[in-house]
Amino acid sequence: MMYHSLNHKARTSSFKNAVIKGLAPDRGLYFPDRITPLPDRFFREIDKMSNAEIAYEAIRQFIEPEIDPDSLYRIVEETLSFNFPVKTFNDNLSVLELFHGPTMAFKDVGARFMARCLGYFNKNNPETITVLVATSGDTGGAVAHGFLGVKGVNVVILYPDGKVSDIQERQLTTLGQNITALKVDGVFDDCQDMVKQAFLDLKLTDTMQLTSANSINVARWLPQMFYFLFAYKKLYRQYDEIVFSVPSGNFGNICAAMMAQQMGLPVRPFIASNNENRVVTDFLQSNIYEPKPSIQTISNAMDVGNPSNFVRIQNIYHNDIDILRRNLVSYSYTDDQTRTAMKELYESFDYIADPHGAVGYLGAMDYLKDHPETHCVFLETAHPTKFLDVVESTIEKTVELPDQIKSIMGKPKSAIAIKSYSELKDFLLSKTD
Ligand SMILES: *Cc1c(COP(=O)(O)O)cnc(C)c1O
Sequence ranges of the domains in the chain: 82-106+221-401
For ligand 1, whether the C-beta of 143 sits within 6 Å is no
With the CA atoms of 226, 163, 278 and 194 taken in that order, what torsion angle do they form, in degrees rounded to the nearest 10?
A: -80
Q: How far is the CA of 172 from the centre of ligand 1 (A)?
A: 16
Residues 6+ apart with CB under 8 A from 284: 321, 324, 325, 328, 329, 330
For ligand 1, whether the C-beta of 164 sits within 6 Å is no
Indicate the SS3 state at residue 423: helix
Question: C-alpha angle with apex 271: 378 to 143, nearest 5 degrees?
Answer: 65
Give the mutation target among 189, 274, 309, 356 for probing the ligand 1 site: most ligand atoms within 8 A of CB: 356
Residue nearest (by alpha carbon) to ligand 1 atom 15? 138
For ligand 1, whether the C-beta of 248 sits within 6 Å is yes
Q: Which residues are catalytic?
A: 107
Round to whole Å and give the CA distance between 241 and 377. 11
Atom of ligand 1 nearest to the CA of 248: 9
The residue length of the chain stands at 433
In this prediction, residue 238 carries a pLDDT of: 97
Residues 6+ apart with CB under 8 A from 102: 82, 108, 145, 404
pLDDT below 50 — which residues of the chain? Answer: none
Q: Smallest Cα–Cα separation from 143: which of 96, 195, 97?
A: 195
Which H/E stretch holds residue 187? Answer: none
Q: What is the pTM of this model?
A: 0.93
Round to whole Å and give the CA distance between 236 and 317. 25
Give the mutation target among 96, 136, 138 for probing the ligand 1 site: most ligand atoms within 8 A of CB: 138
For ligand 1, whether the C-beta of 294 sits within 6 Å is no
For ligand 1, whether the C-beta of 105 sits within 6 Å is yes
Indicate the SS3 state at residue 24: coil
Strands 179-184 and 30-32: unpaired
For ligand 1, whether the C-beta of 251 sits within 6 Å is yes
The residue ranges of DSSP E strands in 65-119, in sequence order, are 86-90, 93-97
Atom of ligand 1 nearest to the CA of 142: 15
Give me the helices (H) in 131-235, please: 138-147, 166-173, 188-200, 202-207, 218-221, 226-235
For ligand 1, whether the C-beta of 224 sits within 6 Å is no
Round to whole Å and give the CA distance between 313 and 244. 16
Q: How far is the CA of 379 from the centre of ligand 1 (A)?
A: 10
For ligand 1, whether the C-beta of 379 sits within 6 Å is no
For ligand 1, whether the C-beta of 107 sits within 6 Å is yes
- 271 forms bridges with which residues in the sheet? 245, 329
Q: Match domain 82-106+221-401 to its CATH number in 3.30.70.2190, 3.40.640.10, 3.40.50.1100, 3.40.50.1820.
A: 3.40.50.1100
3-state helix, strand, coil in the chain (%, to 5): 50, 15, 35
Q: How far is the CA of 124 from the centre of ligand 1 (A)?
A: 33
Q: How far is the CA of 296 from the centre of ligand 1 (A)?
A: 14
Q: How far is the CA of 248 from the centre of ligand 1 (A)?
A: 6
Q: How far is the CA of 301 from the centre of ligand 1 (A)?
A: 5
Query: Terminus-to-terminus CA distance in the chain, angstroms?
Result: 36
Q: Give helix then strand counts, H and E, for the chain.
A: 20, 14
